[in-house]
Amino acid sequence: MSAVRVGLADDQALVRMGLRVLIEEEDGLEVAGEAADGAEAVELVRREHPEVLLMDVRMPVMNGIEALRAIAADQALSGTRVVVLTTFELDEYVFDALRAGAAGFLIKDSPPEELLRAIRLAAEGESLLSPSVTRRVISSFTAAAPSSEGPRPDLGGLTEREREVLSLVGEGLSNAEIAERLFVSPATARTHVSRAMVKLHARDRAQLVVIAYRAGLVR
């Protein structure tokens, strides 16, 4: 099985070095390249096509949100999942990052094992949306989001079970946690999540979280 290739984008060389050391010491992971600003991050993804990109929000030339939007808008780069790194739990960019297509986000001082878990989950198509941080952050920024974003998402195409699963995704639960809550197998939970993503045209799991909040399923 080939190693998961990870791109690193942060304007601080010491941060990149720390991430590189952590990743290179982990079996099954390797560093695909580094970028010191958002523009370099986009070029890195176009050149190397890493499975996962760890990207800081606040960078020169092009910030992480702009870079994320550029990556998400290019279908040729859809194989790269972006995990946003932020310094503060209530960073004003977090909600924008999730709406723009981030696979999730991490506080920079998260434990190393949580960072490694985020990389593996992102590579597998899931997201690290930790209950301890993400629910609080997303609920805060969703509450502050302007009503001009448009009408609530149309959930009419979802089955009752899919709506239930969407609500649990919005709470930050993983597939395994959803399966435990609903007394179904993890494979069944994954299928429901996948169907909801297809029906709602969500690029990834993090966008399902945004939809769940905008639809009023999570408060």
pLDDT band for 121, please (50, 70, 90 cuts).
confident
pLDDT digits (tens, 9 = 90+) for 71-110: 988 989 988 999 988 876 555 666 677 777 788 778 788 8
Residue 55, classed as helix, strand or coil, is strand
pTM: 0.72
Q: Where along the chain do the CATH 1.10.10.10 domains lie?
A: 151-214
Q: Which helix (H) or strand (E) holds 99?
A: helix 94-100
Interval 168-199: pLDDT, tens: 988 778 788 899 999 999 889 989 998 998 89
Instruction: Write out pLDDT tens, residues 10-48.
Output: 999 999 999 999 999 999 999 999 999 999 999 999 999
Domain 4-141 sits in CATH 3.40.50.2300: yes
Q: Where in the chain is the domain with CATH 3.40.50.2300?
A: 4-141
Architecture of domain 151-214: Orthogonal Bundle (1.10)
Q: What is the pLDDT of residue 127?
A: 67
**Closest listed residue to residue 203, CA positions, set 53, 100, 70:** 100
- Whole-angstrom Cα distance, residue 38 to residue 104? 17
Residue 78 tokens, joined:
């859809």
